[in-house]
Amino acid sequence: MSEAEQLEPRKLTYLAAITEGVSEVLKEQDNAFLAGEDVAGAGSVFGIFGGLLDEFGPKRVIDTPISEKGIIGLGVGASATGCRPIVDIMFMDFMGECMDEITNQMAKMRFMFGGAVNLPVTVTTMSGGGRNLAAQHSQCLEAWLAHLPGIKVVMPATPYDAKGLIIAATRDNNPVFVVLSKMLVAEEGEVPEGAYEVEIGKAAIAKEGGDFTIVAHGRMLHEALSAATQLKALGVDVEVIDPRSIQPFDTQTVIDSIKKTHRALVVHEAVQFGGIGGEIVAQIQELAFDYLDAPIGRLGAPFSPVPFSPVLENVYIPNADRIVEKVKETLGL
């Protein structure tokens, strides 16, 4: 390898970073395993676990029956008895099939046992629209999970964070949901070799700025960054914050930004009504009201199931142009 090649940053796709993160976990932790529908032979419907069956064998990479309730039950039971499982729910929409296991077992068991039992279970799942998979395979339901005490929820938007958050999740002694975006699988970014953690509960400042704060997670981070580029041409210097972790949420990083910019917009792909954006807006209102020079904006999807029609789906999902319009509206431009 030439010196130039050695100095060039190592880049992976979001998909490859997920695969590498899980591989690092299975190498590091002898009591870790991966289980879910089609995770072994097919490497999952999106290929994010491709090659792991060959690398680790059928005792550690396991295809399960089609039973989301059973998959989550496996994760809860195995983690409570000393394993550190990674269980996959193919689409986030399917959480409805196993919500009793999540809300009444996984989230509460450590509390109800007085801390005598750890539950180091990691749940991976794919969320979001954009692939014309219709109303039952395109939802963003992170607010469901974040509302449950005992559950942690992370939403990586970059390959670096996808690998680092998966590793951090599997090292945590609490249940952690790693909510991935199906529209980011081809996104490329710098990813170091070996195992590293991205701290759960710590936001990232994806772009610094002094005039306006945009808080956006998951796929919407990239739309916010695109909007920031457009707004720069209008003389608006936007700061973009990627929460990365929805629960716990890094309130302080957002408040620090508001103290500098005095204006904010919160963006998410999920339905706007009842979405996590409302909680973020409330925290800003409670903790940084005196620093605000304008009402805090919110942008999410309409109160409707995700359309199957590509034309309608494009209208349904927030994008950079709509972010720009919301910022201009706040600034009176």
Give just the sign of the alpha carbon dihedral 113, 115, 121, 122: positive
Token readout for 220 is 């919407």
Tell me the Cα Rg of the chain: 20
Residue 180 sits at φ, ψ, to 5 deg, of: -100, 160
Query: Residues 271-313: pLDDT tens digits?
Result: 999 999 999 999 999 999 999 999 999 999 999 999 999 999 9
pLDDT at site 1: 47
pLDDT at site 323: 98
pLDDT at site 185: 97
Q: How many CB atoms lie within 10 A of CB 234?
A: 11
Domains of the chain: 8-190 (3.40.50.970), 204-331 (3.40.50.920)
Task: In whole angstroms, give the CA distance from residue 240 to residue 166.
Answer: 23
Per-residue pLDDT of the chain (333 residues; tens, 9 = 90+): 455 555 678 999 999 999 999 999 999 999 999 999 999 999 999 999 999 999 999 999 999 999 999 999 999 999 999 999 999 999 999 999 999 999 999 999 999 999 999 999 999 999 999 999 999 999 999 999 999 999 999 999 999 999 999 999 999 999 999 999 999 999 999 999 999 999 999 999 999 999 999 999 999 999 999 999 999 999 999 999 999 999 999 999 999 999 999 999 999 999 999 999 999 999 999 999 999 999 999 999 999 999 999 999 999 999 999 999 999 999 998
Which one-letter DSSP state was computed for residue 92? G
pLDDT at site 8: 74
222 part of the active site: no
pLDDT at site 6: 55
- Pinpoint the alpha helices (H) of 182-319: 220-232, 251-261, 276-288, 310-316
Which one-letter DSSP state was computed for residue 104? I
Using CA atoms, how far residue 311 sits from 40, 131, 304, 321, in Å, is 35, 11, 15, 16
Q: Which of 68, 101, 187, 279 is catalytic?
A: 68
217 part of the active site: no
Q: Which of 24, 137, 239, 268 is catalytic?
A: 137
